Structure 1
């Protein structure tokens, strides 16, 4: 525990925080709403919870967990790429499902993006921001800082 804190503290000193806002997610709320799709610093990349918004800000795949999971993961990948990471750099994901009975469907789509050596993952049932949203995913990745 002490090592982890010390390691992260050192990273914070060495690297400032950067807000990540991929062009494909440019419709997402701006500074009037305190939200960023992601942030990075010290080699760590954190995505905010991503949902099945398409490039126009509309929820896609209404009623279709598989389609929403695909779009949600596409948005996660966009934020990761903006921070210089790929899915291979992801070390942790949190998945929020409107209905935990949709786990198997979400899991099948998740496995297509993380087919081998998947990240640590927690999946829970949660009430999401809009009734049409069925899945939300956030990710944490680490890439070695450039020297």
Structure 2
């Protein structure tokens, strides 16, 4: 388990990031600002925040977003996919990771949750 003060606090009995060999597994991150506990308005802002939470976890673990190889995206509304894809194009402009996605119900009125696998 990797811990760091900049990482969002887990809401249950799980590790935010686990290192296994040369790989990092980042638990699903919602679009919650870890400093304020607030969810930004709009799916694009919430997606950016979730990806920023992943970035923080990776940087605290000695990695970065350019080393992400796989993303799993959980979101609540199919009509949000174009905005989500636009944010992904901003964050991963040249070499997007592999991605799986599922439409799900999320706790706390959240609209998105994203987990990641990255190289160290």
TM-score of the aligned structures, taking structure 2 as reference length: 0.91
CA contact (8 A) 1:70 1:109 kept: yes
The answer for the alignment partner of 2:39 in structure 1 is: 60
CA contact (8 A) 1:99 1:134 kept: yes
CA contact (8 A) 1:96 1:135 kept: yes
Superposed CA deviations along residues 16-71 of structure 1, whole A, max 9, x for unmatched, are xxx12232225x137xx312211112011000000111123523214x00110111
2: CA distance between counterparts of 1:24 and 1:53?
Answer: 13
The answer for the alignment partner of 1:77 in structure 2 is: 55
Residue 138 (structure 1) aligned to one of 109, 115, 119: 115
User: Which 5+ residue runs of structure 2 have no aligned equivalent?
Assistant: none
List 4+ stretches of structure 1 deviating above 6 A.
none
CA contact (8 A) 2:32 2:40 kept: no
Instruction: Look up the SS of the partner of 1:24 in the other structure.
Output: coil
User: Which 5+ residue runs of structure 1 have no aligned equivalent?
Assistant: 1-18
Compute the displacement of 1:120 (Å): 0.3
2: CA distance between counterparts of 1:59 and 1:51?
Answer: 11
1: CA distance between counterparts of 2:31 and 2:38?
Answer: 5
Greater RCO (Cα-Cα under 8 Å, separation 6 or more): 2
Question: Aligned pair count?
Answer: 120
Answer 1 or 2: which has greater strand percent: 2
Residue 125 (structure 1) aligned to one of 103, 114, 118: 103
CA contact (8 A) 1:96 1:136 kept: yes
2: CA distance between counterparts of 1:57 and 1:50?
Answer: 15
TM-score of the aligned structures, taking structure 1 as reference length: 0.75
